Amino acid sequence: MTDQANVTEKVIEIIAEQAVLEPSDVSVDMSLEDVGIDSLGLVECIFAIEEAFDISVPFNANDPQESDFDISSVASIVTGVEQLIREQKS
């Protein structure tokens, strides 16, 4: 589950489930706002990502912009997850 295609696929699956969409409706260039995920949904996504990849995501809901984890788009989340997997699984 650590190669790029699989990470992207899994992250999209998590986000789509949270947004009550089909994975095919979610593309990597979309923002969470585009897919209709609010702040509470975001916290749930992060939890699901942590569980799926067995990683810990540095994210504080008080100030998402200031967190080390970039949530500006699906692609940035995938990049962040890949980096965390490298750091935390090595």
Task: Catalog residues that contact another protein under the rule CB under 8 A.
Answer: 39-40, 43, 46-47, 59-63
Instruction: Pull the structure tokens for residue 56.
Output: 């810990």
Between 28 and 48, name the residue whose CB sits nearer to another protein: 48
Nearest distance from residue 71's CB to another protein, in Å?
A: 12
Q: Residue 39 belongs to what H/E stretch?
A: helix 39-53
Nearest distance from residue 50's CB to another protein, in Å?
A: 10
* Phi, psi for residue 87 in degrees, rounded to 5: -70, -40
Nearest distance from residue 24's CB to another protein, in Å?
A: 30
Between 24 and 62, name the residue whose CB sits nearer to another protein: 62
Query: Where on the phi/psi map is residue 37: left (φ > 0), alpha (ψ -120 to 50), or beta?
Result: beta
User: Residues for the chain: how many in total?
Assistant: 90
Sign of the C-alpha dihedral computed for residues 37, 70, 60 and 17 taken in this order: positive
Between 20 and 40, name the residue whose CB sits nearer to another protein: 40
Between 22 and 63, name the residue whose CB sits nearer to another protein: 63
